Structure 1
Amino acid sequence: MRLASLIAFVAFAGVAGCTTYRPEPIAAAQLAQEFEQRSLASEEFRAYVVRATGRDFAPWPPARWNRELLTLAAFYYSPALDLARAQWGTAKAGIDVANSIPNPVLQLPFQYNTPNPGPGAPFTWGPSLDIPIETAHKRGYRVDQASHLSEAARLAIGNEAWKVRAQVRDALLALYAARERSAFLSRKAGAAQQIVQMVTKRRAVGENSGPDVNAAVLAATQAEADLAASRSAEQDARAQLAAAIGVPVAALNGIEFDPGGFGTVPPAPPAADAQRDAILHRADLLASLADYAAAESALQLEVAKQYPDIHLGPGYTYDTGTHKIGFGLAGITLPIFDQNQGGTAQAEAKRREAAARTTALQDTILGDLDHALARYRAGLDAVQLSARHLATARRQLDSQAAGFAAGNTDRLTFTQASADYEANAIAHLDAVVAAQQAAGALEDAMQRPLASGAANESLTQQESR
């Protein structure tokens, strides 16, 4: 009876130590309200920036926001990163599940005997335990598999963080391009309107014909339309930047942006260095390798399942007046008909699939890298050619300005030269933006920034806020 009391006490203590359920309901209206309240001026975000950079910003918020600060804002608010962090938490919890020891099973058989065969009470009863003991290091293989899956989930945070950083970079580039283009187009549209006025006056005195006026009006109208489209693109870029950060567009009102080097392009890295960075630093490739290691551990587990587990069955039995203490084996699975050949074969197939997936990803990365590097080098050549063309246009404009000041060139010719220069400046801007886009594609292929001034924070450390 003392043994039965002890077993009952242990069972009660185990139930008493269970975790309780705590509800955490969410509502769509509440989530929408929280989103609208997000701000770059919040003190919580400031504390995150201080932890991430190791330096304080006073006053807060800063007067100008560069790419690094906006990237940190995206790391803080991005829902995609929140999801990746939550998935890593789930994967880490899987390690605890894999490392858990199987619980013993309490058995309470009862049998009433009639007629009574013994001198005692006419029943047979007694508690017993079924204690499973895993063999062949099965629990260790499960822990290894869960640990590799957790590592893959952690690396997925870095991969997602790079995507967020790239989205901020692309949005800032679009905003920079739209603003610079608007400035050039504004001056070009102003010059075009002056040309219309001058050509109209000349027609009145018979110096120009109707087609000349129509051509000038058409050019001015096109310049105004291009300016309106550029200003619309600027608003779209602001919305794109807000979406990349994870804040409402209103949170960017009053923010002054620092383009931070978009006007210049860094040199192309050597092909060998770019390939090394892509292979050693791509978070998605490292995560794929972790998935392969998990498949390897899963195969080891399936092989170990060929060896049966042991079930110990200690217990006490009262049998119509006789007290019996048992210490036998509750059961051993005999691998006679199945040596887990099906599970092993499936695990081997999954390992081959993981290896093929990793190889295919690496081939894709190297192919994208070669294409991005060639595109970037071509973009750099186009920028140099455009810069030389712009320098020639600048000299021509300076020459026209000197002639106008000396009275050798009329105002119409000088104004037309000014409009032509702005058109060349826009063409040069387009070449620079195209090169920056190619640089972004190269950075994405390597998952490494080309410029040291870019946000260089370790992306694999973005596990939590």
Structure 2
Amino acid sequence: MHRCPIARSGRGPITAVRVCRGLSALAFTLLAGCATYRPLPLPAGHGAASVGQLSAPLPARAWLPGHRFDPADGLDVTELATLAVANNPDLRSKRDALGVARAQAFAAGLLPDPQLDLGADFPRSNAADLTTGYSAGISADLGALLTRSSRVAAARSQAQQVNLDLLWAEWQTVAQARLLFEQVTTLQARQVRLQRERDAVAPLVRQVQAALRAGNLTHDAASAGLNALADVRQRLADNAVALHQVEADLHALLGLAPDASITLVGPPWQAEPAPAAVRQALDDLPRRRPDLLALQAGYASKEAELRGAIRAQFPAITLGFNTARDTSAVYTNGVTLGITLPLFDRNRGNIAVATATRQQLRDDYAARVLATRTDIQRLTADLGTLTAATDAQRRHAGELAQARRAAESGWQQGELDWPTYLTIRASALSADLDRLDLTRQQATASIALTALLGSTELTPASASARVDTP
């Protein structure tokens, strides 16, 4: 009958069944905590087929207080920004990155598993006084305890930085949604204005062409009429191409399929912060702007990494305990101690890298704050200039619109020649388009300034702030 080599000792019998049961229990315990693999196929990447398929926003958004959300009747600027934050593909990727950072922070707090060493010695002689020897030991790296607090602090600050970067990306997505709303509505207004001009000029141009064919006009005399319609058609084509681009950008921002329909309603977003509010925001900038707070968290992470690198220069210590039995059935217990001799490395390379990285982040932070203050100052001045220019252009466009209507009446009554009539219409058209461009520039500066100030309030401009297309 076969017997287990570890059969009997001076301390009592140790049966093979008991050993196997112990090892089985240990194996099941270890396997119970193991992760399992599940496949995750890649998506098709078609995007949502309609606005109704987009994810609804979270109601707890601080920058969406009391706003009625109903995309069924079209998207206003607030609803568009909200859907963009909830569905933007880039933001989803950043939220996944936040999950990675949190997982890394969790991993940084875990201590390394102890190491278990097992061994057995089988005597080659069949002498009755010899038995199978064995050894068992367990050891742990104590150096991981010394640097654990620094690793955890660095990982938590890194996760905080990723979270703040995500918040800043959400704010930038809000600004991008506002900007695209403004661009789409402005280009649509330009398209309507140019189509009206084309429809108004086309009958006159047909008369000029008929007179040219009849020989009543020379090509030199007819060129003004022919060029008027060609110029409007070219502007229409250029405007349509620009509109196609911003509509494609809007679909990409929302994660919509390219052929999905989007209806925008209501006025665009516009605000002019008061000088006192700008000064207050500048003073509070390092305490409220998410990107600056993210840089501060990144700097804290590098500070912790430097502290950990300095602590890691001390000798690494490994402590272990072991028990053994030799082939003569002599039992021993012992302690093992391993110490790294700091003769060459002493972690000097990692300390130098951490020191240089911390200095780089410090300089990056100072440069970001300075650039932000400079941009805010410039945009504040630009916004004041553009506001005055827009008001002046609005009055000028109104005067030319009256002149155009008077010229149209005079031409229909035969009191005005058609070249003069076309000249007046061209001046009125240019004034209207310039007014729309100035309105767009003013809104762009306002959106950029609000984003730089770190404001997330979504306050649409009043309906009177937007001049209807004449």
Partner of 1:128: 137
2:181 is aligned, of 155, 172, 183, to: 172
Contact conserved, 2:317 with 2:338, CA < 8 A, in 1? yes
1:88 maps to a residue whose letter is: L
Partner of 2:91: 81
What's the CA shift string for 1:122-157, capped at 9, x where partnerless?
443221211333477411111001101111111121
2:52 maps to a residue whose letter is: A
Worse overlay, 236-245 or 144-153: 236-245
What's the CA shift string for 1:196-235, capped at 9, x where partnerless?
3566789999998754432122112211221233233323
Partner of 2:249: 240
What displacement does 1:375 show? 2.9
What displacement does 1:244 show? 1.6
Residue 349, structure 1, aligned to residue 360, structure 2: no
Partner of 1:458: none
Report the secondary structure of 2:386's partner residue. helix
Q: How much identity, in percent, do the aligned residues show?
A: 21
Quote the Cα distance in structure 2 between the aligned partners of 1:202 and 1:280: 72
Partner of 1:298: 305
Quote the Cα distance in structure 1 between the aligned partners of 2:389 and 2:451: 21
Partner of 1:154: 163
Partner of 1:365: 372
Residue 187, structure 1, aligned to residue 193, structure 2: no
What's the CA shift string for 1:398-426, capped at 9, x where partnerless?
66688789x79559577764554333211
Quote the Cα distance in structure 2 between the aligned partners of 1:429 and 1:101: 63
In structure 2, stretches of 5+ residues that fail to align are: 1-13, 462-470
Partner of 1:378: 385
Partner of 2:117: 107
What displacement does 1:109 show? 2.7
Q: 1:100 to 1:437 in 2, by over 3 A?
A: same
Worse overlay, 124-133 or 294-303: 124-133
Report the secondary structure of 1:107's partner residue. strand
Map residues 92-103 of structure 1 onto 2, 5 A cutoff. Answer: 92-103=102-113
2:44 is aligned, of 31, 44, 48, to: 31
What's the CA shift string for 1:330-363, capped at 9, x where partnerless?
3233445554333323322222222122223323
Partner of 2:35: 20
Report the secondary structure of 1:331's partner residue. strand
How many positions carry a matched residue from both structures? 442
Q: 1:415 to 1:184 in 2, by over 3 A?
A: same
Q: 1:269 to 1:4 in 2, by over 3 A?
A: farther
What displacement does 1:448 show? 2.7
2:322 is aligned, of 315, 320, 325, to: 315
In structure 1, stretches of 5+ residues that fail to align are: 455-465
- Please give the TM-score of this superposition, normalised by the length of structure 2: 0.80
1:359 maps to a residue whose letter is: A
What displacement does 1:9 show? 5.9
Report the secondary structure of 1:256's partner residue. coil
What displacement does 1:368 show? 3.0
1:31 maps to a residue whose letter is: A
Partner of 2:450: 443
Worse overlay, 355-364 or 179-188: 355-364
What displacement does 1:114 show? 7.0
Report the secondary structure of 1:62's partner residue. helix
Partner of 1:66: 76
Partner of 1:393: 400
What's the CA shift string for 1:77-110, capped at 9, x where partnerless?
3221111111111111111211112211111133
What displacement does 1:239 show? 1.6
Q: 1:13 to 1:301 in 2, by over 3 A?
A: farther
Partner of 2:5: none
Contact conserved, 1:176 with 1:259, CA < 8 A, in 2? no
Q: 1:165 to 1:293 in 2, by over 3 A?
A: same
